[in-house]
Amino acid sequence: MQGFTKTLAIELGPFGVTANAVAPGFIATAMTRATAKRMNISFEDFLAGAASQIPVGRVGQPEDVAAAISFLASEEAGTSRARSSTWLAARGTERRDVLRGLSRGGDHDRRLVPPS
């Protein structure tokens, strides 16, 4: 997906088209709740186990992903990415950190992956 996103950015950037890919890590959703249930684990324990593997110590929320996508779709993001691709792989990263990283601008690929 990352390579495809970069290729789209290279090929379509000259026409003013930006390319983005968002690959969130563990997000607390109905799907992850169902997974915990299938594994006979309480959802709270499942979340705690996932959070223990994430550097910021918390799982992502759907709002975190929505905020990143909202920014990427905004006019503000469009000017800083005219000739670049954005690959956002956030594993429970605080929303403000993701948006601060994306707001830096520049004509290069930006990866926001917390250290593991």
Per-residue confidence band for 78, with pLDDT thresholds at 50, 70 and 90: low
The answer as to whether 68 is a domain residue is yes
For the chain, give the percent of residues with pLDDT over 90. 34
Per-residue model confidence (pLDDT) at position 80 = 52
Residue 40: CB partners within 8 Å, gap ≥ 6? none
Number of separate domains in the chain: 1
Structural domain of 36 = 2-111
Mean pLDDT on 3-32: 89
The answer as to whether 55 is a domain residue is yes
The answer as to whether 61 is a domain residue is yes
What's 70's domain CATH number? 3.40.50.720
Q: How far apart are CA 41 and CA 92, in angstroms?
A: 21
Model's pTM, two decimal places?
A: 0.63
The answer as to whether 116 is a domain residue is no
The answer as to whether 20 is a domain residue is yes
